[in-house]
Amino acid sequence: MIPRLDYAGPWTDRPRLAARLFEAGLEKTAAWHRAELFGQVVDALEAADAAARSVRPAAFFVPGRIEVLGKHTDYAGGRSMVVATDRGFSLVCVPRTDRRVVVVDARKCDSIEFELHPDLVPTAGHWSNYPMTVARRVARNFPRAMRGATIALASDLPSAAGMSSSSALMVAVFFALAHANALFEEPAFCENVRSLTDLAGYLGTIENGQTFGTLAGDRGVGTFGGSEDHTAMLCSRPGLVSQFAYCPVRLERTIRLPGDYAFGVAVSGVAAEKTGEAMEKYNAASRLASDLVERWRRETGRSDPHLAAVLASSPDAAARLRKVIAPAGITGPESSSLLARLQHFVAENEEILPAAGDCLAQGDVLGFGHWVSRSQQAAEELLGNQIPETSLLASSARDCGAVAASAFGAGFGGSVWALVEKPRTDDFLAAWRESYCARFPDRIPAASFFQTAAGPAAQQIE
């Protein structure tokens, strides 16, 4: 099911591996760096498990993602435009004969151990929460999965930066456990997961705790998100911007990125953690969307599953829903929040994203930039998930010459992407960083600025 990249050479042959990764869609610099990371994780695996020295490990690459457009739309049944980055997780693993799962982070020189068990209790607030949540769900959904794995991994994704490093970690660990237990051949898996988009939907439910088909839900990691991140990681294609709709996941269209443009990314240095107070802020947007649907159901007697379905139910659904929220135009703090959430979803999902995609498909990058600016403005004024740092980065990117720029991810911190002409990328990134430093010098030690292509999706290397 996962795309496979044929590579039979030794892991120590970095030039040969880099060449294969380049052929698979990574740009040359990214391919070489990826080959180096695979060398590191193989060394770490062999140090952690003697069995890895006599068998060839399974190897996977899972990228991060950029959400081009579609802020807080996926869990409400909306759509988004995404690309995979050329940064992500390199992972190698070997099955074990017991139920122990050993995960070694080769870059951070850290490791965790736990048992593949349905009653496993993940450790909230620690990075182990993510692989442990995956193991618990696998053990509950597939009772015959009783083989652990020794896993070594390394990531060059900035953490807590809105680039889905936590989701990428969960996807990578799932691949390792799926390999150890032949999950892709399990009847329950085959019955529910028939495609990569199905797999993305299922992996999203591991994170948010929902049920997928007959695969029962569990506690998740505590965030009420959707499956956009997992879809971008599994289904993106090099050089293309992909537009998906969700609940269930389905591809709507792909748009070729103009060949003379690349993405610049600015990591603000403000962590976009999905824990504690930040998680509550993130979940608040999800709860407002759910509350809108629940009020609609009570008023109309309908059973529309999500906000996108509500709006698609009739041409005047948005107007009717506004009357449900604020009858006779009477508003208070709660109804004002609901009205702003509705207005944002309608603008982002129904107006901005389709128009921006049309412009990009026609090669009209200036028109695309106009709609992207509208999206950033709506996030600041209606969604309320921006901070001064990300707002400044979006506006200064345009001042520095980007044709489009927007914050992305959960918000309340994180990163901003910018679309820039390739020959100008280095100069642009330097000017962008200088502008940010002038306004937020205290953020610079934790901030970073780099280029990424629209890269390939996750793949197994064998």
Q: State mean pLDDT over 23-36.
A: 94
- Indicate if the pLDDT at residue 304 is higher than 90: yes
Tokens describing residue 87: 């940064």
Tokens describing residue 413: 């911190």
Q: Give the Cα separation of 223 and 216 in Å (integer).
A: 17
Strand order in the sheet with 261-267: 404-408, 415-421, 261-267, 448-452
Local confidence band at 277 (pLDDT 50, 70, 90 cut-offs): low
**Rounded to the nearest 5°, which phi and psi values hold at 434?**
-60, -40
Judged on CB neighbours under 10 Å (0-12, 13-18, 19+), 424 is middle
Q: Which residues, 6+ apart, have CB-to-CB distance to 339 below 8 Å?
A: 322, 325, 326, 331
Q: Give the Cα separation of 192 and 233 in Å (integer).
A: 20
Q: Give the Cα separation of 88 and 172 in Å (integer).
A: 10
DSSP state, 163? S
Q: Cβ distance 64 to 168 under 8 Å?
A: yes
**Rounded to the nearest 5°, which phi and psi values hold at 343?**
-60, -40
Q: Give the Cα separation of 312 and 421 in Å (integer).
A: 38
* Residue-wise pLDDT tens digits, 346-385: 999 999 999 999 999 999 999 999 999 999 999 999 999 9
CA distances in angstroms from 18 to 9, 14, 86, listed in the order given: 11, 6, 13
Q: Give the Cα separation of 168 and 448 in Å (integer).
A: 20
Distance of CA 243 to the CA centre of its chain: 14
Mean pLDDT computed over every residue of the chain: 95
pLDDT confidence of residue 276: 53
Bridge-partner residues for 60, per DSSP?
Answer: 91, 460
Q: Give the Cα separation of 56 and 385 in Å (integer).
A: 45
CA distances in angstroms from 101 to 126, 135, 177, 179, listed in the order given: 16, 8, 9, 13
Strand pairing of 261-267 and 448-452?
antiparallel
Q: How far from each other are the two terminal CA atoms of the chain, in whole angstroms?
A: 14
Tokens describing residue 339: 């009205």
pLDDT confidence of residue 259: 85
* Residue-wise pLDDT tens digits, 138-165: 999 999 999 999 999 999 999 989 999 9
Distance of CA 147 to the CA centre of its chain: 28
Local confidence band at 415 (pLDDT 50, 70, 90 cut-offs): very high
Local confidence band at 224 (pLDDT 50, 70, 90 cut-offs): confident
Q: Which domains does the chain have, with CATH numbers?
A: 4-257+455-461 (3.30.230.10)
Bridge-partner residues for 89, per DSSP?
Answer: 62, 155
Local confidence band at 311 (pLDDT 50, 70, 90 cut-offs): very high
Closest CA relative to residue 341, chosen from 300, 273, 373, 294: 294
- Indicate if the pLDDT at residue 453 is higher than 80: yes
**Rounded to the nearest 5°, which phi and psi values hold at 27?**
-75, 160
- Indicate if the pLDDT at residue 330 is higher than 90: no
Tokens describing residue 357: 């995609």
Bridge-partner residues for 91, per DSSP?
Answer: 60, 153
CA distances in angstroms from 10 to 26, 51, 153, listed in the order given: 20, 17, 18
DSSP state, 60? E
Residue 448: helix, strand or coil by DSSP? Answer: strand
Q: Cβ distance 81 to 406 under 8 Å?
A: no
Top pLDDT among 458 and 277 is at 458
pLDDT confidence of residue 360: 98
Q: What is the sign of the dihedral through the CA atoms of 155, 157, 159 and 162?
A: negative
Poorest-pLDDT segment among 1-5, 130-134, 200-204, 444-448? 1-5
Top pLDDT among 284 and 277 is at 284
The dihedral over CA atoms of 381, 385, 391, 394, expressed in degrees to the nearest 10, equals: -100
Closest CA relative to residue 27, chosen from 235, 356, 257, 243: 257
Cis-peptide, bond into residue 248, ω within 30° of zero: yes
Q: Cβ distance 160 to 413 under 8 Å?
A: yes
